[in-house]
Amino acid sequence: MKLFSKVLFAFFVLLFISSCAKEKTATNQFRVALLSPGPVSDAGWNAAAYEGLQRIEKELHAQISQIETKTPSEFEEAFRDYARQGYQLVFGHGFEFQDAAAAVAPNFPKTVFITTSGNTVRPNVAPMVFELEHATYLAGALAALLSQSGKLGMVGGIEIPPVTSTFDAFEAGAQSVKPDIKVNRSFIGNWEDAGAAKQAALALIDQGCDFLIHNADAAAAGVFQAAAERNVLVFGTNKNQNDVDPQHILASCVSNIPAAFVEMAQLVRDGKFEGKIYRLGMPDGVVSFEINPQLQSQIPPAVMTRLEEIRRQIIAGTIKVPSKV
């Protein structure tokens, strides 16, 4: 009985606190929420989405909210929670959110659910696909043109289609200029373990890889560290990471995620949203390949001309970059 009354007391305290925390909401303000699969402090994939959300708050005067969710049951719960509160737009930041979005969407026709990457489409569910493959294809071509050993390495977080797809494009880009190039990949199984990412990168370097690319989010710090220790060159991804280690990061494959978020939010606010796959790549100016100016001298002019030619063909659509998502 004593325990029961204590628990009851704690329950009422919580109830009281949560009622104090209830936000004051303008009735018809535009409200946007973000479900991130990891901490937004990762200076990478999640941080970019949060920057997008902050820009939506500033530029579209929206009310914003963000939550970190790890498991599929949390995805559904959070989607449902925001929709119930009347949010007009909820982003699920990753491929892994599509099933949860599709499950929740029919019950909340007034809310639009956007997943970043994926292929699940409903009247109020759409994936926004960043074609980072355009940039990793270029990175692959550049690495193959410069490689001495004829071996390139890739370090990934978890083997999900958006990651393998960027790696496939890297491989295709490399083989397009040097058909006999060897490209090996290694996965660490999460997005946080920089120590494991470092050892994965060192193992690739041990096997003779002299260029590395990553798609491991925050854990990429370990890949950069390995590249610095063994003095090989590496490519950054998702954000422009050239400044992280200007001596070893040759170029970055960049998605302008914040800009895409703002654009999407604008469509939804203006009622122009359609349930379809939104593809955003190099031709749209959302994806770019940024060479580190400090290492520009390492790229001979002939290679640079060749690279420019490939870039033009990707934008013109004459080169079809493979993409699985």
From start to end of 141-265, where are the E strands? Answer: 151-156, 182-187, 211-215, 233-238, 249-255
Interacting residues with another protein (CB under 8 A): 38-44, 47-48, 50-51, 153, 159, 182, 184-190, 192-200, 202-204, 206-207, 209, 218-219, 221-222, 225, 229, 241, 243-245
127 vs 236 by CB, closer to another protein: 236
CA distances, 186 to each of 134, 135, 158, 163, 294 (Å) = 21, 20, 10, 12, 28
CB of 187 to another protein, least distance (A): 4
CB of 249 to another protein, least distance (A): 11
Side-chain-side CA neighbours of 44 within 13 Å: the count stands at: 24
Instruction: Write down the least CB distance from residue 57 to another protein, Å.
Output: 12
Q: Is 209 or 314 the residue whose CB approaches another protein more closely?
A: 209
CA 80 remoteness from chain centre = 23
Q: Which of 177, 134, 171 is nearest to 156 (CA)?
A: 171
The distance of closest approach from Cβ of residue 194 to another protein in the complex, given in angstroms and rounded to an integer, is 3
Distance in angstroms (rounded) separating the CA atoms of residues 48 and 61: 19
Q: Least distance (Å) from another protein to the CB of residue 7?
A: 15
Please enumerate in sequence order all residues whose Cβ is within 8 A of that of 10, keeping only pairs 6 or more positions apart, or say none: none
Taking CA 168 as the corner, what is the angle to CA 226 and CA 50, rounded to the nearest 5 degrees?
Answer: 70
In the bound complex, what is the minimum distance in angstroms from residue 105's beta carbon to another protein?
28
Helix, strand or coil, per DSSP, at residue 35: strand
